Amino acid sequence: MDAPALTPATESLTLFDVEAESGDAGRAATDRALGHWPSPVYFGELLFESHFGHLPPGAIIVEPSAGEGNLLSIIPDRYHAVGVELSPQLAAQAAQRTGRRIIVGDFRNVELGLRPDAVFGNPPFRTELVDAFLSRSHALLPAGGIVGFILPVYMIGNAARVRDFNLRWSIEQELIPRELFGKVTTPLAFVRFVKDGMRRLVGFASFLEAADVLHNVDRRFRRIMERGGRRGPWREVVVEALRILGGEAPLARIYALIESRGLAVTRFWREKIRQVCGELATRGVLVRLTAGTFALYPQEIV
Ligand SMILES: C[S@@+](CC[C@H](N)C(=O)[O-])C[C@H]1O[C@@H](n2cnc3c(N)ncnc32)[C@H](O)[C@@H]1O
């Protein structure tokens, strides 16, 4: 098989104020190119115990970017643990140190010859690589399979990215101390992706709702939702929509006007609009023409 090309580690370089503690500049440069930042063993053990300790004996666990084997070394003997590592030198170190099998290659496409139940690692902090690691893991894992990665928070801080990940995974995240890795300059998290079809999100406040507004609501209405008004955003949204629609409209037309094209998940704003239309009709601010059709009073249509 051809040696896989290394992707430039530009993001890794910006995350760390690098000092070659060994004084070996060549080794430090190679580490940076590979995105090689070993995890503290004691901390990896704590993560493993709380997130993977429930797996039954004999479960197959893959460490997809094993480095010199820090995380692999703490996987208990009751599990079948296998490492993957791009660098043959690091792979040899990891094999010698852990006694585990290390597959030399690129986790994105290397032939594993096994079906893991879980994937546990600290991949290089490069967005496209982490995305590819997750895709490969999803293809390899059975239903219920788990991925646990140490990641920079910026990789899970974007509402649309989380929405997209969440289409295939339940996700939960927790902060971990950034000084675990010396002079790291970005917040870090341990992120657990579970292929359970449940699409749960833990530790992500209203990400799906925000993704819907930011990416699937017409810009005019997004501005109103963001800015609000004296009586909150929803009344403003309804009045503006009814004005645009000529003074009266069924809810379905109001929804269609507000929604822009794209992937919407919650459409939580529909319920807000339905509620506010009902309230405004009860208070005589709107006219309810039929069960789901509302009209402005003529003086409101300006
Ligand atoms: C951040 S280090 C982590 C090492 C180890 N997991 C730990 O936590 O101590 C990332 C490792 O991934 C390896 N690596 C980079 N790209 C890889 C790829 N595409 N497939 C497999 N390993 C890769 C690097 O050589 C490096 O050793």
Would you say the CB of residue 94 lies under 6 angstroms from ligand 1? no
Q: Is residue 2 part of a domain?
A: no
Q: Residue 11's pLDDT is what? A: 39
Residue 18 falls inside a structural domain: yes
What average pLDDT does the chain have?
90
Residue 217 lies in a domain: yes
Q: Is the CB of 193 under 6 A from ligand 1?
A: no
Residue 299's pLDDT is what? 74
User: 180-200: per-residue pLDDT in tens?
Assistant: 998 888 999 999 999 999 999
Q: Say whether both 228 and 247 belong to one domain.
A: yes
- Longest distance between any two alpha carbons in the chain, whole Å: 82
Q: Residue 206 corresponds to which tokens in the numbers above?
A: 């209203």
Domain boundary among 171, 187, 203: 203
In the three-class reduction of DSSP (H, G, I as helix; E, B as strand; rest coil), residue 134 is classed as: helix
Query: Based on the domain organization, do 241 and 162 belong to the same domain?
Result: no
CATH at 74: 3.40.50.150
Q: How confident is the model at residue 172 (pLDDT cuts 50, 70, 90)?
A: very high
> What pLDDT digit, counting tens, does each position of 105-128 carry?
999 999 999 999 999 999 999 999
Identify the residue whose C-alpha is closest to ligand 1 atom 17: 86
The model's pLDDT over 38-88, given as tens digits with 9 standing for 90+, comes to 999 999 999 999 999 999 999 999 999 999 999 999 999 999 999 999 999
Q: What is the pLDDT of residue 27?
A: 66
Ligand 1, atom 19, lies closest to the CA of 106
Tell me how many domains the chain contains.
2
Q: Within this chain, do residues 196 and 59 fall inside the same structural domain, yes or no?
A: yes
Note whether 194 and 258 are same-domain residues: no
Task: Please list, residue by residue across 93-110, b when 16 or more beta carbons sit within 10 angstroms of its beta carbon and e when fewer do.
Answer: bbbeebebbbbbbbbbeb
- Answer whether residue 1 is part of any domain: no
Output the CA 282–ligand 1 centroid distance in Å: 62
- 300 or 114: which carries more pLDDT confidence? 114
State yes or no: pLDDT of 92 exceeds 70. yes
Residue 34 belongs to a domain: yes
% of residues, the chain, pLDDT over 90: 82
* Statement to judge: residues 69 and 189 lie in one domain: yes
One domain for residues 123 and 184: yes
Cβ(92)–Cβ(100) under 8 Å? Answer: no
Examine the domain organization and report whether 111 and 157 are in the same domain: yes
* CB-ligand 1 contact for 15 (6 Å cutoff): no
pLDDT of residue 20: 37
pLDDT of 16 strictly over 90: no
Which pLDDT belongs to residue 24?
A: 62
The residue out of 154, 169, 203 marking a domain boundary is: 203
Question: Can you tell me whether residue 148 is helix, strand or coil?
Answer: strand
Across 286-295, average pLDDT: 97
Check whether residue 133 and residue 162 sit in a common domain: yes
Closest CA to 169 of 206, 202, 200, 129: 200
Determine, yes or no, domain membership for 3: no
Three-state DSSP state, 36: coil
The DSSP secondary structure of 72-127, one letter per residue, reads GGGS-TTSEEEEEES-HHHHHHHHHHH--EEEES-TTT----S--SEEEE---S-H
Q: Going by C-beta distance under 8 Å and a sequence separation of 6 or more, which residues neighbour residue 93?
A: 68, 69
Instruction: Say yes or no: 220 and 170 in one domain.
Output: no
Ligand 1 midpoint to CA 232 (Å):
49
Beta carbon of 108 within 6 Å of any ligand 1 atom: yes
Helix (H) or strand (E) holding 188: strand 188-194
- Ligand 1 proximity of 85 Cβ (cutoff 6 Å): yes
Domain extent for 222: 208-300
- Whether 89 and 45 share a structural domain: yes
60 shares its domain with 194: yes
pLDDT exceeds cutoff 90 at 301: no
Average pLDDT over residues 263-273: 96
Any idea what the CATH number is for the domain that residue 291 is in? 1.10.10
Is the confidence at residue 28, as pLDDT, over 50?
A: yes
Instruction: Render pLDDT for 5-14 as a digit per residue (tens, 0 to 9).
Output: 322 333 333 3
- Domain end call among 171, 203, 235: 203
Q: Please check whether residues 268 and 217 belong to one and the same domain.
A: yes
Where does the pLDDT of residue 4 fall: very low under 50, low under 70, confident under 90, or very high at 90 and above?
very low
Residue 4 lies in a domain: no
Contact 265, 163 (CB under 8 A): yes
Q: Is 168 part of any domain?
A: yes
